[in-house]
Amino acid sequence: MRPPLDFGAFVRRHGGGDGGPVVQPRMGFGRPAQMRAGLAATRRANATTVGTITLDSYTRVGEPDMAARALHEGAELNGYPIVTHDAAVTGAVLSGIVDDDFPVQIRHGSAMPRDIFTALTALSLNATEGGPISYCLPYGRTPLEESVRNWAECAERFAGLRERGIEPHLETFGGCMLGQLCPPGQLVALSALEALFFYQHGIRSLSVSYAQQTSFEQDCEALTALRRLCRALLPTDNWHVVVYAYMGLYPATDGGAYRLLGQAAELAAATGAERLIVKTVAESRRIPTIEENVAALEYAGAAAAATETMAGGAPADSETYQEALALIEAVLNLDGDVGRALLTAFRRGYLDIPYCLHPDNAGRARGYIADDGRLRWAERGALPLGRGGPGGDGGTGARRVTSAGLLADLSYVRRTFDTEPLKPGDTQGRLGAHQ
């Protein structure tokens, strides 16, 4: 069999610029026939797409026997158990669908991904995502040191595909930490740092992520900062930017969900992002159907195609850029090994994810949504940002967060987008403020 196309090269060829981003679902089903049908429908969608196989929760936490039991009992899984299914079964799922015109990425969420990477390399599947920080802190209690060790080993094993003529691709999930209430400077920094970690462990085809937040203007600044920093830091040109539709509490109405997805598509297209991960109208209620995934792909593709790239982009020296740069420099100055530097940074609180309960997270930093819709620091803890940066109280980063205020902030996006029904042309409304 001919080696699969470099996932990153495909996305860079087809995404970004006037054509808008390549669009991608977050799709995974336990039954092989349904997974194959989902991939086929994604390929047929009226948009430029790549496929996704999202893995189930049992596989993510290293319990393939539980996945096997669920399959035996006919239970529905919330993703595809790639470790449990025989390689020949997964090969049949992919056969005749995956080719140079339609690559597929495996998505999971595991801090213990050894079995997953073993399955990927056996199947010559060359695109996945995650990271030692972003697939550890939000999802469980795996010690951060263990996650860093696991991901270093797996990245190096994955890089070995190159010896077989296959280019492995890894996407950092670092720009999506907990999905909400983390000011974008830290999201940008984590995305860039995890990409550097992957590069240090042999990966040469990379993508860097950023999740849509609460302010279109601030998101544009963040994506501009992410691209500028990666151009300066990454020793390879084979990388691209991927935007995620909002990862927090999603609108409950169909109109609100489409309005939010439309704005994510605008954001990706306006900033030249090469790939967009979509969400569906069912996101707040249940696992989406194949048809709902296709509808979201086509809606996002059309919204992006109708959006012009921002002339000149957002300000290059924005507050978000300055914060991200300060965090990255502080971390990289700790150790020449990026993994050790990340561990030291979390021990000292130089990196600190708001509202993250993992025992290896300091838990002193707090974010909030300001009156202008931007995410700001209420408390900075030991983050190395100085006293003059953006904050909640005259730049000092001192503001009391109450339980009522936190709950209001967590539902801010849902309330905002569920307020009005979807109207023709609504997806262009927020972008107009930039033109």
Which pLDDT does position 354 carry in this prediction?
A: 93
List of E strands, 262-383: 275-277, 366-369, 375-379
Amino acid at 45: A
The pLDDT tens digits of the residues spanning 187-200 come to: 999 999 999 999 99
- Evaluate whether 212 touches 227 at the Cβ level (below 8 Å): no
Comparing CA positions, the residue from 44, 47, 69, 72 lying closest to residue 58 is 69
The pLDDT tens digits of the residues spanning 62-85 come to: 888 898 898 888 888 889 999 999
Torsion of CA 230, 336, 328, 116, to 10 degrees: 70
- Structurally, how many domains does the chain consist of? 1
Output the domain CATH number for residue 385: 3.20.20.240
With a cut of 70, say whether residue 400 has pLDDT above it.
yes
What range does the domain containing 342 cover?
Answer: 1-435
With a cut of 80, say whether residue 43 has pLDDT above it.
yes
Question: Rounded mean pLDDT of the chain?
Answer: 88
The pLDDT tens digits of the residues spanning 248-259 come to: 878 888 888 899
- Binning pLDDT at 50, 70 and 90, where does residue 405 land? confident
Enter the tokens of residue 391. Answer: 């904050």
Enter the tokens of residue 39. Answer: 């991939």
Which pLDDT does position 3 carry in this prediction?
A: 64
Q: What number of residues does the chain have?
A: 435
Q: Reduce the DSSP state of residue 18 to 3 states and report it.
A: helix
- Binning pLDDT at 50, 70 and 90, where does residue 281 land? confident
- Evaluate whether 401 touches 381 at the Cβ level (below 8 Å): no
Which pLDDT does position 1 carry in this prediction?
A: 53
Mean pLDDT of 336-343: 97
The pLDDT tens digits of the residues spanning 209-225 come to: 999 999 999 999 999 99
Which pLDDT does position 383 carry in this prediction?
A: 96
Which pLDDT does position 422 carry in this prediction?
A: 54
